Structures are given as structure tokens and as C-alpha cells.
Amino acid sequence: MSAEPAIKIVKQDKAKRKQSTGKQQLRVVIVGHVDHGKSTLIGRLLYDTDSLPEGKVEEIEAICKRRGTDVVEWSFVLDAFQAERDQAVTIDSTQIWFSTDNRDYVIIDAPGHREFLKNMISGAAAADAAILVVDGAEGVQEQTRRHAYLLHLLGLQQIAVVINKMDLVNHDTEAFENVSREVREYLGSIGVTPRFIIPISARNGDMIASRGESMGWYSGKTLIEVLDSFENAALPVSRPLRFPVQDVYRFQGKRIIVGRVESGILRKGDRLMFSPGNEEATVTSLEVWPEDDDKVEARPGEAIGITLDQRLFVERGHIGSHTKNPPMLSNVFRASIFWLSQKPLKVGNSYKIRFGSHEAMVTVQSIDKVIDTQDLADQSDKSEVKRNTVAEVTLRARDLLPIDPYSDNERLGRIVMYQGYDIAGGGVISMEGYADQRRRKAPKSENIHKVEHLLNHDVRAKRAGHRGGVFWFTGLSGSGKSTLAMAVEKALFEKGFSTYVLDGDNIRHGLNRDLGFSPKDRSENIRRIGHVAALMADAGLIVLSAFISPYRADRRRARAAAGEKYNELYLAADLDICEKRDPKGLYKKARAGEIKDFTGIDSPYEKPENPEMIIDTARQDVETCVEQIVAYIERQVALGDLSDDGKDKEQVLDYVV
Amino acid sequence: MYKYLDELEAKSIYIIREAYNRVDPMCMLWSIGKDSTALLWLVRKAFLGRVPFPLVLLDTGMEMQEVYDFRDNLIKEWDLNCINHMCPPEEDMDQTLPPATRSAMRKTEGLKSLLREHNFKGVIAGIRRDEQGLRAKERVFSPRTIDGNWDFKDQPPEFWDQYKTEFPEGAHLRIHPILHWTELDIWRYTQRENIPCCELYFARKDKKTGKMMRYRSLGEKNITFPVESPASNIEEIIHELETTNTSERAGRSMDKETEDSFERLRAAGYM
């Protein structure tokens, strides 16, 4: 405790209380070593800006008296917890509002105790600017360095250093210079330049709101003047658009994709691409409530909903961008992290990470650096990262992740790491040394050219005696796809046609062995089958594909791959009938919840809007259906006039039920 | 008007949608006051006019008649699904607590029985950091033990809008979408969006004293009192708040009974 006399509290004129300006707030975090006077500074800031509620000053005086001290402890303003007053340390980060003539502020108080680092990060991560409090007598201490390093890691640019307790060093200019130099040296070593270094006495209120009389030698700004000179972070409007999908709602037949624009501007009519699936669609509306037809664009920070012109596989975690500047795709990246969990991070361990709404499992491939924030030396033991330390690590995921390095996108370039139920750490992403793998996923390279065959389809068709074609059977499980495809194949073969059935199992055992049953994998499954079918048809085969293929968008892609050789055959049998048939017992399992995302039960089937043929497999027997289909195929693959496009629309109508 | 409110609004909508995606089943406490009614408005914004989870009034039977009337009108007008959950009687409370704190404890116990009955995993509540020092310490997604207890000394870290949303069986989450708003923000927003609010907030002449009085914070009859104020419409309330130094909960007696009344309430599961 200082030997200073008790402060005289001058009653302020109530009318002087600053009005909340109604402008954007600046969030300021106050950090520093324990007992360097953070809470005292906050109490003083509130008092000096007339921001304390009526009665608070008297309340604090009374509490101080009860505790047997005449000296006003400004830190009591914040110490709402009984427990805290007893321990005389701030347990958790607290937020307090005040206003100057120019602006509204939220102060985030961050505790100085080592074990409460997670609270300091919780506070500091939300801040626009920071005040680093350093005791003028003690100088730079352990927490001073650690907090400064974390401010740097959290990306805070606007930092003011206050050298506090100048009253304890007789307001000496030399003492101030010495501590200032010490602070500057450390900050310089981590690449931070403090914007201001101010000598203050929080206890007496010198150089906070008013200059006081004790430090006439200092000609710089007071703390309040410095705060007023800080700026709110500019919205990243000119960065590439990032729209992480938070959820997908289905309201009154509308499919609304909701999320928050993190950077760039999203406009009605924009062509969007969703990573990592890379599917594209156009924004048809921005959805807000109450309805607003004039709402045609959304800027960073806005939480909105959109509708698209096509039904894509878009789910929580996908990242919408414009087609020009999508995020990178990579399954490996580096991160500078801070670790908060009791259990150390270890090489080979797996953790759940989140950035935006994207969630993924990653494995620690290597710990590249463990940094001692005291001297910034690289630690030799790189087998683990202990609690409350910072490190550089390389993380590897199973799938490609849509990644933006922190240097490109501050909001999405940072990850939070989970261990069990708990947030265990966080950090910022660097892609240094790793390439974008997007090309591997969707080779759009200009160096790939379609090779011109010397033989064309007509020549092949003449040799075979018939054309090739894709006959795409779609319908619910149990609608008869496999049964009919196999029977039709046999019938065609016996008539001398070259034909082949693509069926779920034979594809999933080989070509698509790497795919599961997530919507994304299902979509990829169908995409590959569509291309295989198109190639085989081009080679002259009659390809019969038998897949549920529930989504229009997927079938549309299969049609696009095969062009005019594509024919969609819809096996119309409703759910009741298919469920009664249940040839593989799958509906039963789906109803029991043993199978998830089962088409017709908890996953939708989108009926074809304009199929080439509809077969009523509910009312017709197998033989009748086979006859109809074979007759249709024969007409489609007949040589006829080879310049004709071959489609027989009038005949098709006969089969439309 | 008050462009900065857009930022507060967007943040709240993001939190509400996050809760709806991560926590199921969930309900929202609607005390009928200005905060939870503004919050209800934000919920409707988040779900484009809908309220996809039930609202709950923890009813002690001691709310003022104007509050009940306001509730009934709004339920009709907005077509709301509202559970009126009766709190246990005062005799069942810890008799060592001061009277107003005891009364608040009824709500705490009411909330516990609500959770037992409906097995809610999450409860949305319209508390704000600026209301009270303890609430300032809150997280947006704040875990409670099975007894509703709040371990304020060991709260999970929360940063970069990433929340801890998974918990062991039995625990539940409090979700606080308007934690970052102030009393003044709420009134400016209520005015801007034209959100209905209970008439008790507006000054009326007290029959006995002849003074103009209004409620600044609504609570039960026996423990909440009007404060002297000439503000008889929202505009005047905003003007008053822009210049006052009196704290919002000045009319709430439970906050003052002992230095730690509110802390004891919160630790035991009060909102």
C-alpha cells in the first residue's frame, strides 16, 4: 500500500455526466502484470469521465471503511464478487461502459494472474485496442511480456502503454524513461510498436482525464486523448467475399441458407461457389424480416439469409465465396497457437477445430516451435505444448478444408481447438510453405486439353450396329431400379446389343471406395458415375445406371456429362409401396434410426421434373416394364439417320403416366 | 437512426441462430419486460418471423396485472407458444434469505423444475452485462451444472465467436444473446423497431404523492418499486437515460439486501 493520503472525492455536478453518443463503441482491453494497477485505472477512468452510477462512490467509501481503510480503492468498482474482494485479484474479465465527449467505450478488464489466462484471452480477443499497464517502480514483469505477446498473437494493432504508479517513483522523468526503454525493447522484439507511452498515476488521476500537476515534464497526450485517437477496425468490405453457412432453414417451401458475411459484399444476383464442395449457384434473394425487397446487398458483420436458383448440397460449415476468389483448399496448414488446457498438446493427438462455422478433426503432425514469451527463445523440448504456452504447429486434416490464412482474412484465418467438450486453445493460420490444393480437386488448369479422338461416335456406332447411350434409372430404394436394369440388360444382350449396368455396389467397391454417405460424398459418387457412364456411352455401350440419385442438381450434372445421349427414366413408385417391398430391409432400419439420411425417410427425394420416361412400377409387373424400357431404348440407339439427334419425343409421351 | 444498433442486432441474431443449431431442445425465458421482449423481436428476425422454440414465463403469481395483460395481448398478436410455468411457493424457500432474495429464489427453483419437466438442454435469457456487476462476468454460452449452479470462478474461455456448446449429460446451457447491449441500447432499439412494451415503464401520477413515477425495471409486486421520473414515452425515457446517474436496478430490493445477495442468487442458478 502506498503512503499517499486518502484521495479527496470531489462531488461532481450531475448534469456534467457524459451522454452516450450513440456512435460505434471502441472496445478496449486493459492488460498487464498482477498488481500493476489495472482495476484501479478502470475505477479512475469511470470516475473521471463521470460514468459511475449515483451512489457508487459513497458505496465504495463505505466498503473501504468497513474493511478498515481510509484510502479509496478504485478497484472495488469492478470487484463485484465477494470472493474477489477477499482475494484482492480480479477473477474474470469484466466489461464496463463509459463515454468521453467523442465516443462510447467498453472496457474489458483482464486479470493478471497466470492461471486466469483463458479469461484474459476471452477479453482481449474481442478488443479493438489495448492498454498495457506497467508499474513504474517494478518495470516489465512476466505477465507484461506474456500479455504483450498474446496481444500481438491476437492481432491487436492499437496498443497504448501506461507507466503507472508514477507517484511511487516521485514522478521522476528518468524512472519513466528507463521503464519506457525496457517496454520498447521487448515490444520491438516481437514486432510491435506501441503507439503511445504515457506516465500516469491511476490513484491520483494524473494524465488520465486531466494532466494533473505532478508531471509537467511530460508533453504528450493524456490517456483519454490517446483513446479518443484510436479507431474502430475498418470493415473488410474490399476483401474477397466469405459467407460461412451457419444453418439451412426450410420455411414454407423455401430453402434459406443463413450465415454471416465475414468479408466482402454479397449481392443479389451474385454467382456463389461453396467450398469445399465447389458447387455453384446464383443468389436469387436476400432474406430478412420484416420482409424488405430493397435488401439487395449484405456487408461484413451482417447476419442474413439467402436463397439460390439451384438446390446445391450446402450445409453448415461450407464457405460461400464468389467464383473468382475462393478460399484455398488444403488438408495441411501451420498455426501459431496458445494452449489453455491442463492436458498438453502432443504430436499425433487429434483435436476438433473450428473456424467460422467450419468444423474438422485435425492431427498434430509436428510441433515446430515452442516459444518462451519471456525471452522468445525456441524451447528444445518439442514433444508437447504445455498449458499457457504459445507454439507453432503443423496440423493435418483428413479432408480438404476451405482455408484462408490469417494474413488474408482475419476473421476466418483463426482457429479454436477443442479437447473433449472444452475449448483448449486457439491460434492463427499460416499457409507458408503449403500450396493451394484446389486444383487437385477441380482441375481447371489451362494445361489440360481435351484430346481429339481420330474416331468419332458415328463410326463406332456403325461398327456396333447401334449407338451408345446413358439410361439413368432414378427412384426410391425399392422402386425396382436394380431389378429392371438387370432384366433390361439381359434382354438387350440377348438381342445383340452391347450393354452394361452400373450399380451401387460394383462402383462403391472400386472407383468410389473412398466415398461415404455424407451428402457431399453422395454427390461426388453420382458425379463420378455420371462421367463414367458418359465415357462408356461414347465408347458405344448402352449404359444402364441404377442409383437412387435423389437430387436434381446431381442428375443435371450427369445429363450435362453425357449430353444428348442421356435419358432419365423415373421409376414412379411411392414411398408406401417401396417401404412395403423393402427388399433389403433398409426401410426398417431407417425407421428404427439405425440408418441415417435414408432417402424418403429423413432425406428428401426430388422427383424428376422432366424425365424422358416415367415407368409405373407400382402398378405394372416387371415384364411389362422391361418391355416398355427395351422398346424405348431400341428406338433411342437405332442407327437411323446418323445426323439425326435420335431423340424420339413423341414416342416418349406414350410412356408418361 | 442509431446505425450502431445494426452491429448489436447482427451479433445477437448470430448467437440466436448458433444456439438453435447447436442446442436442442431449447426454450427462451420471456419475463415480458423490455429486454426479453426486444430479445423476442430479435428471435423473430433470426427466424424470419417465426419463434421455433417455446417461450417460458416463470410465474410466481406476483407479477403486476399490467404485465399479465401485456403478455396475453402479445401472445395473441404474435401467435406465440408460451409455457406459463408456476414457481414453487415462498414457504418452500430457504428462510434464512432476506425476503426479496427469497422471492427471487422462487424463480430459480421454478426454472429448475421447468428443466426437470421438459428436459431442456438450453435456456435463452435476456440478461445484459451492464445491468449488474455479476452479470458483467457472464459468458454468451454459459454452462450450468445439473443443479443450475454457476461456477463463476472457472468459466470456459470464449473468444472469436466460438462457443462451448457441448456438455456432459445433465448439465444445461444459458444462452445470452443480448449480453453486449446496454439499457439505453434496448430503449433506442425498441423505439427504432417500434417494439411494443408494457405501459408500466411510462410515468404516471402517483395518487398518494402526486409525483410522476415509472418502473425502470419490472419485477414482482412486492419487491419492485417505481422510481420518480417524468418520462412518459420512449423518447423521454431515452433522454432520461442519456443524462441519469441512477442505476437501473435501483427499484429492485433484492440487489441491496446484503452485499452478496445477488451473487448468492446467481451462483444458485438465478438468471
Residues A77 and A209 in one domain: yes
B 17-36: CB under 8 A from A: 17-18, 20-21
pLDDT at site A10? 37
Q: Residue A131: which pLDDT band, with cuts at 50, 70 and 90?
A: very high
Least CB-CB distance to B136: which of A80, A126, A303? Answer: A80
* Most confident range, picked from A5-19, A42-56, A110-124, A562-576: A562-576
Neighbour-count burial of A485, counting CB atoms closer than 10 A to its CB (0-12 exposed, 13-18 middle, 19+ buried)? buried
pLDDT at A92 over 60: no
Q: Which residue has the higher pLDDT, A643 or A343?
A: A343
The reply to whether A237 falls in a domain is: no
For residue A635, tell me if it sits in a domain: yes
Q: Minimal Cα distance from B167: which residue of A? A: A421
Range in A61-65, A641-645, B17-21, B75-79 the model is least confident about: A641-645
More confident residue, B188 or B224: B188
Q: What size, in residues, is chain A? A: 657
Assign residue A264 a region: left if phi > 0, alpha if psi is -120 to 50, beta otherwise? left
**ipTM for this prediction:** 0.91
Note the pLDDT of residue B245: 65
Q: Which chain A residues touch B141 with a CB distance below 8 Å?
A: none
Query: Residue ranges per domain, chain B?
Result: 4-182+257-267, 199-255
Give the residue from A501, A606, A629, A493 showing the smallest Cα distance to A549. Answer: A606
What is the number of CB-based contacts under 8 A between chain A and chain B?
Answer: 140
CA proximity to B25, closest of B124, B109, B161: B124
- pLDDT tens-place string over residues A375-420: 777 777 888 999 888 999 999 998 899 999 998 999 999 999 999 8
Concatenated DSSP letters of A83-112? HHHHHTS--S-EEEEEE-SS-EEEEEE---
Residues present in chain B in total:
271
Query: Does residue A217 sit in the same domain as residue A266?
Result: no
What's the CA gap between A123 and A119, in Å, rounded?
A: 6
Distance CA A287, CA A273 (A): 19
Query: Given B49, B188, B245, which is nearest A54 (Cβ)?
Result: B245
CATH number of domain containing A407: 2.40.30.10
Task: Return the exposure string of A600-614: e unless at least 16 CB atoms fall within 10 Å of the residue's CB, then b.
Answer: bbebebeebeebbbb
Percentage of the residues of chain B whose pLDDT score is greater than 90: 54
Nearest CA in chain A to B247: A53
Q: Is there a single domain that holds both residue A221 and residue A72? A: yes
Look at residue A238 and tell me if it is in a domain. no
Give the closest-approach CA distance of B65 to chain A in angstroms: 31
Flag whether residue B50 sits within 8 Å of chain A, measured between CB atoms: yes
Distances from the Cα of B222 to the Cαs of A606, B255, B264, in angstroms?
59, 14, 20
In a shared domain, residues A359 and A313:
no
Residue A441 lies in a domain: no
User: A362 and A338 share a domain?
Assistant: yes
Substitution target in A258, A316, A340, A418 with the highest count of B β-carbons within 10 Å is: A258
Residues A497/A489, Cβ–Cβ less than 8 Å: no
pLDDT for A649:
35
Distance of CA B184 to the CA centre of its chain: 15
Q: What is the spatial order of strands in the sheet that B204-205 belongs to?
A: B204-205, B212-214, B227-228
Contact: A249, B48; criterion CB under 8 Å: yes
Residue type, position A495, single letter = K
pLDDT the model gives residue B256: 58
Q: Is B202 on the interface with A (CB under 8 A)?
A: no
- Cα atoms in the 13 Å half-sphere on the side-chain side of A93: 31
Evaluate whether residue A1 is within a structural domain: no
Confidence (pLDDT) at A152: 87
Nearest Cα residue to A471 out of A489, A494, A491, A496? A489
- A20 closest CB neighbour out of B17, B184, B246: B184
Q: Is the pLDDT of residue A64 over 90?
A: no
**Domain assignment present for A83:** yes
Q: How many domains does chain A have?
A: 4
Largest CA distance in chain A: 110
Distance CA B204, CA B211 (A): 8
According to the model, what pLDDT value does residue A380 have?
75
Measured CA to CA, the distance from residue B38 to residue A385 in angstroms comes to 45
Catalytic residue among A93, A407, A549, A603: A549
CA of A251 vs chain B CAs: smallest distance (Å): 9
How many angstroms away from the CA of B189 is the closest CA of chain A?
11
Determine the residue of chain A that is closest to B16 in CA distance: A303
Query: Alpha-carbon distance A172 to A175, whole Å?
Result: 5
Q: What is the pLDDT of residues A600-625, one digit of tens each?
A: 888 888 888 888 888 989 888 899 99
Three-class DSSP labels, B233-252 = CHHHHHHHHHHCCCCHHHHE
Q: How far is CA A553 from CA A409, A473, B204, in A?
A: 31, 15, 63
Q: Does the CB of B243 have a partner CB in chain A at under 8 Å?
A: yes
Exposed, middle or buried, A380 (CB in 10 Å: 0-12/13-18/19+)?
exposed
Cα distances (angstroms) measured from residue B126 to each of A145, B137, B174: 38, 15, 10
Closest by CA to B260, choosing from B70, B97, B68, is B97
Q: Give the model confidence (pLDDT) of A267-317 as tens digits.
A: 999 999 999 988 999 999 999 999 999 999 999 999 999 999 998 889 999
For the cut 50, the answer to whether the pLDDT of residue A6 exceeds it is: no
> Rounded mean pLDDT of B62-84?
93
Pick from B48, B168, B188: which is nearest to A287 by CB?
Answer: B48
pLDDT reading at A528 higher than 90: yes
pLDDT of res. B19: 97
Shared-domain flag, residues A151 and A45: yes
**Any domain includes A24:** yes
Which of A18, A20, A415 should we substitute to test contact with B (largest number of B Cβ atoms within 10 Å)?
A: A20
Closest CA to A531 of A505, A500, A566: A566
Count Cβ atoms within 10 A of the Cβ of residue A484 and give its class: 0-12 exposed, 13-18 middle, 19 or more buried: buried
Q: What average pLDDT does the segment A544-548 reach?
A: 93
Best mutation site among A302, A316, A340, A419 for testing chain B: the one with the most B CBs within 10 Å? A302
CATH topology of domain B4-182+257-267: Rossmann fold (3.40.50)
Q: Is A549 a catalytic residue?
A: yes
Q: How far is A14 from chain B (nearest CA, A)?
A: 7
Lowest mean pLDDT among A168-177, B40-49, B111-120: B111-120
Q: Does the pLDDT value for residue B236 go beyond 50? A: yes
Greater confidence, B55 or A126?
B55
Residue B122, strand partner residues: B26, B173
Please check whether residues A312 and A196 belong to one and the same domain.
Answer: no
Q: Which of B14, B160, B166 sits opposite A421 (nearest CB)?
A: B166
Domain residues for the domain of A151 are 14-229
Average predicted confidence (pLDDT) for chain A: 84
Rounded-to-integer distance, Cα B141 and Cα B122, Å: 9
User: CB neighbours of A323 closer than 8 A, spacing ≥ 6?
Assistant: A271, A272, A273, A280
Evaluate whether A126 touches A106 at the Cβ level (below 8 Å): no
Of A92, A106, A260, the CB nearest to B14: A260
Instruction: Tell me whether residues B21 and A246 touch, CB distance under 8 A.
Output: yes
Distance from CA of A489 to the nearest CA of B (A): 47
Yes or no, beta carbons of A258 and B49 under 8 Å apart: no
* Distance (Å) from the alpha carbon of A654 to chain B's nearest alpha carbon: 45
Measured between alpha carbons, how far is A79 from A73 in angstroms, rounded to an integer?
A: 10
Same domain, A467 and A615: yes
Contact A80 B4 (CB under 8 A): no
pLDDT band at B82 (very low <50, low <70, confident <90, very high): very high
Nearest to A428 by CA among A410, A441, A440: A410
Other residues' Cβ atoms within 10 Å of the Cβ of residue A576: 9
Residue with cell string 486457439? A426
Is residue B125 over pLDDT 50?
Answer: yes
Give contacts of A150 with chain B, Cβ < 8 Å. Answer: none
Q: Do A247 and B244 touch (CB under 8 A)?
A: no
Q: How confident is the model at residue A15 (pLDDT cuts 50, 70, 90)?
A: very low
Residue-level pLDDT at B142: 92
For B140-182, what is each residue's pLDDT tens digit?
Answer: 999 887 666 777 667 888 899 999 888 877 788 999 999 999 8
The residue that leads in pLDDT, B18 or A13, is B18
**Which one of A304, A322, A340 terminates a domain?**
A322
Domain assignment present for A450 = no
